[in-house]
Amino acid sequence: MSDYLVIVESPAKARTIQKYLGKRYKVVASMGHVIDLPKSQIGIDIENNFEPKYITIRGKGNILNELKKAAAKAKKVFLAPDPDREGEAISWHLNRALKIGDDSDCRVEFYEITDKAVKEAFKKPRRIDMNMVDAQQARRVLDRLVGYKISPLLWQKIKKGLSAGRVQSVALRLIVEREEEIEKFVPEEFWILDAKLQAKREITARYYGKNGKKHVPASAKEVEAIKADVVRYAFQVSKVEKKERLKKPPPPFTTSSLQQEASRKLGFTARKTMLLAQQLYEGINLGKEGVVGLITYIRTDATRISAEAHSAARSYIEKEFGDKYLPEKQYRFAAGKSAQEAHEAIRPTAVSRTPQKVSSYLTKDQYRLYKLIWERFLASRMSLAVYDTVKIKITAGPYEFRISGSQIKFEGFMKLYTESQDANESEENSFLPDLREGEKLKLLQLLPEQRFTQPPPRYSEAMLVKVLEEKGIGRPSTYAPIIETLISRGYVLREKKVFIPTELGKVVLEQLLQFFSDIFDVDFTAQMEEKLDEIAAGKLRWVEVIDNFYKNFAKKLKEAENRMQEVIIALEESDELCPNCGKRLVYKTGRYGRFLACPGFPECRYAKPIVKTLEIDCPECGKSLVERKSRRGRTFYGCSGYPECRFTTWDRPQKEKCPKCGYLTVLKGKTLQCANENCGFVLSKEQSSAKKSKEQKSAARGG
């Protein structure tokens, strides 16, 4: 019999911790929450200080009974769910259900699942932190009141199955308002004028203005007038300004910055990033070393690093890269105002476990994410990057042209890691022209180009996560579920990695803002997050916060019940007829995007996916290839003759045929190659020369 019972959330975490604690401890998993609010009713006693009516979650009864039996046999029970409000709430519910006692030092928390961290944590157990529990209860009650009171209204007035989440609706508002900006945007014409000049080598400068004032030509007539006049003057270098610029490394990852960078660099959704990160945190079997947690706790908004981890990183950098890659003193990284000092940033638990050393034990995506975290952490401890920058002013009479460029003088942290924006910068500004003041230049050609102002971009996942964090909406751990809910409800589509609101999403938001504009306001939602933080810090009582919210909410709700009009969403018809009943098929939106369906549902259930036809023939049967979506929303390409022809590929087909065997070619990453596995010929696409040309043109462009 084990002396001590330890309860965590997941079996993977239980296996890892069991290895460190030994035979006197029995580590079991609760499989997440075992007690929660009921799904079938609101579960809040509004008249009795908003008392939550907690029940054992359906299907968790057997788990709870097993935990009770194990607790009865143990000398002491320790509760070790994750070190956050959710984990504290799980611990509180277990404490009550198992009758451990409010005065018991039963709560154990650690921020990395390693031998040392786990054993240290068990030396200093504490009582349940009721302030953290109350903050989680307040969020749960708030979300339940909004969701269970407003959603039935939407079912009555718009469509069954809709929801109005407190935070998700604010995120929807951001996406819809951005779409409205795009729709209202009126492009304005402008022109750029580049001068191709001959010095010791050919350079290109961009027109800046006249008589020292910046000027952007608005029409072809304007730019032609400048061209006609500027050729009368001699071109010469009037000013060369050279400076040294220092670039600080990025901080180690927080939850939010990890989601953003994994989206930009790896193409991962926030949900996928968090799923993979949880696996790396809870433990990976490393063969002889056993199950090991590879990274620290993944829900954090802190950039702090422990002294031990910092020292280990410096030792590694000195050994692998040399002294010059070590900064004299460590940089200070700003943390969010809500960042908890007890938390660290996301980092590898041991910097000596390089991505290469553990790669054979990880899946492809686990490896890619671990490598990103490992490199980012190590880079944050490395030296500044040093640039030589140059700004050159070229005059032709009263006209001014400019060139700007830069070169890396010392790569510092960029030897190991570049942020997304760093990568663009180093690629496009690598050419540094060597010119002297007073030097005469020969005009070779004037190159005008018409352009138009662009609307603001739609939100990508990385952009949306960034703006949610900046505006204080939700918390990093909630970003992934917010996004997934908006998609699953059919409020937004994710197309080409950006979010587009559906007609349903627009209609729902319009109704919500008509009656609850203050509740679904960005600033109000951010202020509510701050109040939840104050509850967690013991500065506010959760019942008072909910009561103040509900007084206004109840009035708005009554008004909406009386005045909200029924809305019929007009479905867009297609040119196709239903093969079963002859009705004209309509466009609908589901979890995986738009599809065609019969408007006679539920009597007629005919539906078909919308496919995009490529002007490329199937290599097996000659019919057209089409673009499709998998059940998980991933794009793939297949034959339009399915199911007779079952040719498919994940890689984008290209028109160019394989010169070796004549089969279809596909773009695999940045490599063009034959799709025939028996051939596999890699084609030369002259990408390197095209890239070099682009770099020179971009770098020599005027600032």
| Contact between residue 371 and residue 400 where contact means Cβ atoms under 8 Å apart | no
State the DSSP H helix or E strand holding residue 89, giving kind and residue range, or none if neither: helix 85-97
Q: Which two tokens mark 13?
A: 């975490």
77, 318, 636 from 640: Cα distances, Å: 60, 57, 12
Spatial separation of the C-alpha atoms in residues 547 and 554, rounded to whole Å: 10
Burial of residue 319 (number of CB atoms within 10 Å: 0-12, 13-18, 19+): exposed
DSSP string, 126-192: B---HHHHHHHHHHHHHHHHHHHHHHHHHHHHT-TT----TTHHHHHHHHHHHHHHHHH----EEEE
Q: Report the DSSP pairing between strands 25-29 and 4-8.
A: parallel
Distance CA 494, CA 589 (A): 11
Active site positions, annotated: 297
- What is the DSSP secondary-structure string of 610-677? --EEEEEE-TTT-SEEEEEE-TTS-EEEEETTTTT---EESSEEEEEEPTTT--EEEEETTEEEES-T
Q: What are phi and psi of 633, to 5 degrees?
A: 85, 10
Closest CA to 58 of 43, 75, 36: 36
Three-class SS of residue 410?
A: strand
d(CA 16, CA 11): 9
Do the beta carbons of residue 316 and residue 352 sit within 8 Å? yes
Spatial CA neighbour of 241 closest among 405, 428, 399, 407 = 405
193 forms bridges with which residues in the sheet? 448
